[in-house]
Amino acid sequence: MSGDHGLRSSLPAAAKAIAEIPHLKLTLLGQKQAMLDECQRRAIDPSQFTLVDVPDVIGMDESPAVALRKKQDSSMYKAIELLRDGQVEGVVSAGNTGALVALSRFLLERSPGIRRPAMCAPLPGDGGDTYMLDLGANVDCKAEELVQFAEMGSALVTCLKGIEAPRVALLNIGEEASKGTELVRQTAELLAAEPSLNYIGFIEGFDLFTHKADVIVCDGFVGNIALKVCEGTASYISRQLKGRFRRSWYGLISGLFVQPLLKNFKDDINPDEYNGAALLGLSGVVVKSHGGSSKKSFYSAIRHAAKAAEQDLPRRIAQQLTLT
């Protein structure tokens, strides 16, 4: 129970999740007294959760190496241990991404053949979602790893949507074969040669929300920047619109009319808040929620994890990967 907003958003989100998601059981790890205090402040009944008292927390600026070596008593470490030992079916965290990836890789089994787990989230779009990966788990990637991301994304879409041959595209700065970095061009060749994939070629940044592909593949550095640029653009537009509505009497009247339509609009189109990012390629369900998560977005991440666990996604993705 950490992240930038800490208990203030995660506890109400947990209470909402218990109320709304059937059969859900939630174990909350953190400083027990702080959790109890926050429950009292918000009139949330703590007995509906299993509270596990964990004294330590991994700071947002601590390196993955430190998390691995020195943070066995942190809430994140303990949560992933519970997952490894089968005591929970999924983990949701709004904490340090690097640490979450490192601990998951260290403590959980990887799907057969998978070299590096990747972070994947759906983006909304005209007519359907597009699943994008990697969103930040792997900063420096090799072409073979990007191909595995494509395979995992494709398997995920097949499991979730029943689409037999999901359209896989590679994020690039142009659609022509000559465009892009050495890594992207190498990856394109491998993807095109992979019969189990329905590879449709390069896709550009302006097509993230047009549903031209079911899966968009990129390295974690580019993916994380792209995701945050979406967020920054949406925020800026929202601020600009508000400013325009404020600047004139005409705008003020229009603003009153439009307010209900714009309400939560930013949340809707913010892909990170849209659903939480799942770490694919592991034996268990690990969902990363945005560090600055609101109650709404943390709830989405819990719902996402619950659904993935209920559908036994890690096993099904692994199975799908072996099949193709």
- Shortest gap between Cβ of 120 and its own copies (angstroms)? 16
Judged by CB under 8 A, the stretch of 146-154, 192-200, 205-213, 316-324 that binds its own copies is 205-213
Shortest Cβ distance from residue 109 to its own copies (Å)? Answer: 27
Does position 231 bind its own copies by CB under 8 A?
yes
CA 316 to chain centre: 19
Report how many residues bind its own copies under the rule CB under 8 A. Answer: 59
Whose structure tokens read 């995920």?
156
Helices (H), the chain: 7-20, 32-41, 64-70, 75-84, 97-107, 143-161, 182-192, 220-247, 249-262, 265-269, 271-275, 295-310, 313-323
How many of the other CB atoms lie within 10 Å of CB of 268?
A: 13
Closest approach of its own copies to the CB of residue 178, in Å: 5
Task: Indicate which single residue of 52, 125, 295, 316 sits in contact with its own copies (rule: CB under 8 A).
Answer: 125
The reply to whether 267 sits near its own copies by the rule CB under 8 A is no
What's the min distance (Å) between Cβ of 163 and its own copies? 22
User: 194-200: long-range contacts at Cβ-Cβ below 8 A with a sequence spacing of 24 or more?
Assistant: 194/147, 194/150, 194/151, 196/151, 196/154, 196/324, 197/150, 197/151, 197/154, 197/168, 197/324, 198/154, 198/165, 198/166, 198/167, 198/168, 199/150, 199/168, 199/169, 199/170, 200/167, 200/168, 200/169
Q: Give the closest residue to 161 by CA, choosing from 169, 153, 170.
A: 153
Q: How far apart are CA 119 and CA 129, in angstroms?
A: 16
Interaction between residue 228 and its own copies (CB under 8 A)? yes
Distance separating alpha carbons of residues 146 and 92, to the nearest angstrom:
25
Nearest approach, Cβ of residue 171 and its own copies (Å):
6
CB 107, CB 81: distance < 8 Å: yes
- Residue 221 interacting with its own copies (CB under 8 A): yes
> Among residues 126 and 164, whose Cβ is nearest to its own copies?
126
Chosen residue from 29, 230, 277, 278 binding its own copies by CB under 8 A: 230
Match 């993230």 to its residue by tokens: 208
Q: Which residue's CB is nearer to its own copies, number 4 or number 45?
A: 4
Between 22 and 257, whose beta carbon lies closer to its own copies?
257
Is residue 176 near its own copies by the rule CB under 8 A? yes
Q: Which stretch binds its own copies (CB under 8 A): 17-25, 68-76, 152-160, 239-247?
A: 239-247
Cβ distance to its own copies smaller for residue 123 or 321: 123
Angle between helical axes of 7-20 and 32-41 (0-180°, round to 10): 70
Among 40, 48, 72, 233, binds its own copies (CB under 8 A): 233
126 binds its own copies (CB under 8 A): yes
Task: Catalog residues that contact its own copies under the rule CB under 8 A.
Answer: 60-61, 63, 98, 124-126, 136, 139-140, 171, 173, 176, 178-182, 184, 204-210, 220-222, 224-237, 239-241, 244-245, 250-251, 253-254, 257-258, 260-261, 265, 268-269
